[in-house]
Amino acid sequence: MTRYLAILLLAAALPATADDFARAAKPLLEKHCYSCHGAEKQKGGIEVHQLTSSDAALRNHRFLENIAKQIESGDMPPEDDVDTLPTPDERAAMVREIKTVLAKLETGSFPPNPGRTTIRRLNRNEYNYTVRDLFGVNFAPGREFPADGAGGEGFDNVGDALFIPPVLMEKYLSASRKIIESLYANPTQLNRVLVAKPTDKIQPEDAARATLTYHATLAFRRRIVPDDLSAMLELFSKNTAAGMPYEQAIRAPLQSLLVHPAFLFRIEKDQPGKTEWPIDQFELATRLSYFLWASMPDRQLFKLADEGKLTDPAILASQIERLLNDRRSESISRHFAGQWLDFDELREVADPDPKRFPTFTPSLRDAMVRESIEFFNHLIRENRPVTELLHADYTYLNAELARHYGIPGVAGNDFRKVQLTDPNRGGIIGHASILTVTSVPLRTSPVKRGKWILDNLLGTPPPPPPPDAGELPADDKSPDGLSFRQQLELHRQKPSCNGCHESIDPLGFGLENFDAIGRWRDNDANGQPVDSKATLPGDISFSTPAELKQLLASSDELFLRNFCRKLLGYALGRPLEYYDEPVITQLVKTLRTNDLKLRPLIHAIVTSKPFQNRSATR
C-alpha cells in the first residue's frame, strides 16, 4: 500500500473526530507510509507523519490538493513503482474523496476562527513611512536596517518572519539619532514638531507634557496612559535642572519615542477569558492604515477611533475610499504587488549580463519597475477589473522604456498611459520587469517564467526539483548550434525531471519571443527563429503571449482565488490557515458580483471577520 492509499484512508476519516481519525488512520499511515514518508525519511520531500488528526489534515490542505492533482493526472505513483500503482477505480476514488474533503474548506464546515496575528515590529518600509508621517522627515533611515524576510503568503510584513537580530537594536538607536538631528537642523520643521512651548502662562513641564502627549499618541497609535510619559518627563526635568533651554531639554525625550516598544511594534491587546473578540478602534485604524498606506493612521483616523465612530459602516467605507485616493496608497503597488509579482526583485536581485545586454542601464531598470507600479496604481485609482493584470490593452511608459519596447510617439521622462496596439505586450506578463526577473544573466528561462505563472499568478507552485535534476546551461548560445529549447528537451529526458517540466516549460515557451530584458525578438541568440509553440497537458496548444493570456483569462478561477489569497494575507500580516479559505471563497464572489473591480474587494477585506477580529489561538 502506498502513501496514496493512505491518503485515501486519511481523507475518508476527515469528517470524524480527531480521536476517531487517530484510531482509524494513524495506524495505517504508520504501517504503510512512514518507511518512506515519516519522521525518519521523507522521500521526495513528502511527509505524512504529521497528519494525525482532522485538524492537521485541514491545516495541510494545500498538500492534499497537490496530491489530488498528481493522482488525477497519473503522474503519481511513478510508473516504475509497479507494486504501488493503484487501479483506475482506486485512483478515481482517491481523487473523489480528497476533493470531498477540500470542498469543506469552501463551505466552512468547521468552527470559524478570525486568526491571530503575531506582534509585529515595523518592517523597513513601514518604519520609513511612519517616521515620515510622524515628524515629516524626508529621508529613509530604515535603509540601513537588515533586510526583512518574507513570511506567510510571501510578504515582509508578517510578524512570524520579522525577527529582531541584535544589530537591529543598534540601528534603531542610530536611526532615532539621525531623525532628531534632521529635525533640529531645520528650524521650520522643528517649530512644527514642538506643538507647545513655554510662555508666561505655560510652564516648561506643561509644554513638554503637551508636546510629548501629542506625538506619543500618534507614535504609539493609541490613547496614552501616564506611565507612557513618566520616564520622558523625568528626563526632561533632569535636562532643565541642568540648565538646558526648552528646545534642548526635550530633544532626548523626543528621540526616546522612536525607540519605545509601542512605536517599534504593532501591539494588539488580548482579552483574557475570551476565545475571540473585535479589535478596538485604534487597532482597526492601525490595521487599515498599514494595509493601505504601510504607515501610521493620520489625525482624521485617530479622531474617528477616539470618538468610537470608525466601526460605523458608512464612515468606515468613506475612510477606505479616502485612504485609497491618497497618494500614500501607492504603497500597495510598491509592496503588495511588488512582492507578489516579484518585480520588486528587479531593484537588487536581477542581474542581466552587461556585455550581452548593454542597453540595460540603471535608468531603464528604474523605468521597468515604475511601469509596473504605475500600472497597478491605475487599477486602484480607476477601480479597474483585476483581470486587466492578465490582458490589459494599455500600459504606462516614458520615452526610454517605450524605445526599449519599440513603441513610437512617447516623449519625456514622465510616465503616462499608452494604448497598446500589440496584443502580445499588454498585461503584467508583457512587462519588462517581470520578463527580466524571470530570466538569468545570459538568457531567458522558460522554466523560471513557467514557474512564475504557476506560482505567482495561479497559486499552484510546482514541486521543487529533485536533487539529481542537474544544471541547465547558463548561456543559450550553444557551440553545437542547439537552441536553448533543444537543450532543455535533452534535460527533460530524465524521468525524474520530465513530469514537472511538462506543465512548467510550455508556459515559458509561450513567452520566448521576449528576450531576457523583455524586448520582442523573432530570432534567438543562435540566429534561429524563436520556437514558441507550446502544448500543455490535455492537448492545450498556443504559440504567442497573446494566446497565453487568452488561455489564462478564459479560466480565471485559479487566478482570482490566488489574488484574493495574496491580498488578504498582505492585509492581515499573518500566514493564512485553512479556516481562512471560506473567507477567500467569499472574496472571489465579491469580485464576481462587482465586475471584478478592485476597490470592492479591498472594502470586503477590511470588513471581513479576520480583519476586524482577533482570536486567542491560531
Across residues 35-43, what is the average pLDDT? 67
Other beta carbons within 10 angstroms of residue 104's beta carbon come to 18
Predicted pLDDT at 527: 86
Cα(506)–Cα(494) distance, integer angstroms: 17
Least confident interval from 74-83, 127-136, 494-503: 74-83
The residue-averaged pLDDT of 112-119 equals 92
* Count of beta carbons in the 10 Å neighbourhood of residue 269: 12
pLDDT score of 95: 65
State the alpha helices, DSSP H only, in 332-387. Answer: 338-340, 362-381
The secondary structure of residue 160, as a DSSP letter, is: G
pLDDT tens-digit series, residues 389-440 = 999 999 999 999 999 999 999 999 999 999 999 999 999 999 999 999 999 9
Q: CB under 8 Å to 372, separation ≥6 — which residues? A: 333, 337, 338, 341, 343, 428, 431, 433, 434
Pairwise CA distance, residues 243 & 251, whole Å: 14
**Mean pLDDT score, 549-574:** 95
pLDDT score for 98? 65
d(CA 289, CA 294): 6
Task: For 297-333, write each residue's pLDDT tens digit.
Answer: 999 999 999 999 999 999 999 999 999 999 999 999 9
Task: Give residue 84's pLDDT band: very low, low, confident or very high (50, 70, 90).
Answer: low
Cα 335 → chain centroid: 8
pLDDT at residue 81, rounded to an integer: 53
Q: Is the pLDDT reported for residue 7 higher than 50?
A: no
Q: How far apart are CA 450 and CA 430, in angstroms?
A: 14
User: What are the CA-CA distances from residue 367 to residues 156, 330, 396, 404 (Å)?
Assistant: 24, 16, 10, 10
pLDDT one-digit tens code per residue, 153-196: 999 999 999 999 999 999 999 999 999 999 999 999 999 999 99
CA atoms within 13 A on the CB side of 558: 16
pLDDT digits (tens, 9 = 90+) for 334-355: 999 999 999 999 998 899 999 9
For the chain, give the mean pLDDT.
Answer: 87
Q: What is the mean pLDDT of residues 251-277?
A: 96
The predicted pLDDT at position 25 comes to 40
What is the grid cell recorded at 163?
525577527
Q: What is the pLDDT of residue 536?
A: 86
Per-residue pLDDT, averaged over 52-67, amounts to: 69
| Cβ atoms 359, 517 nearer than 8 A | yes
Q: At 484, is the pLDDT very low, low, confident or very high (cuts 50, 70, 90)?
A: confident
Residue range 206-233: mean pLDDT, rounded = 96
Three-state secondary structure string covering 411-442: CCCCCEEEECCCCCCCCHHHCHHHHHHCCECC
Please state the domain extents for the chain. 3-107, 120-266, 351-382+388-554
Q: pLDDT by residue (tens digit) across 509-555?
A: 999 999 999 999 999 888 889 999 998 888 899 999 999 999 999 88
From CA 150, how far away is CA 574, in angstroms rounded?
11
Q: Between 297 and 505, whose confidence is greater?
A: 297
Q: How confident is the model at residue 54, as a pLDDT? A: 62
Written in H, E and C, the secondary structure of 253-291 is HHHHHCCCHHHHEECCCCCCCCCEEECCHHHHHHHHHHH
Q: Could you give the CA distance from residue 574 to residue 558 in angstroms, rounded to a whole number? A: 21
Sign of CA dihedral 483, 486, 490, 491: positive
β strands within 436-583, DSSP E = 534-536, 540-542
Check residue 32 and give its pLDDT.
43
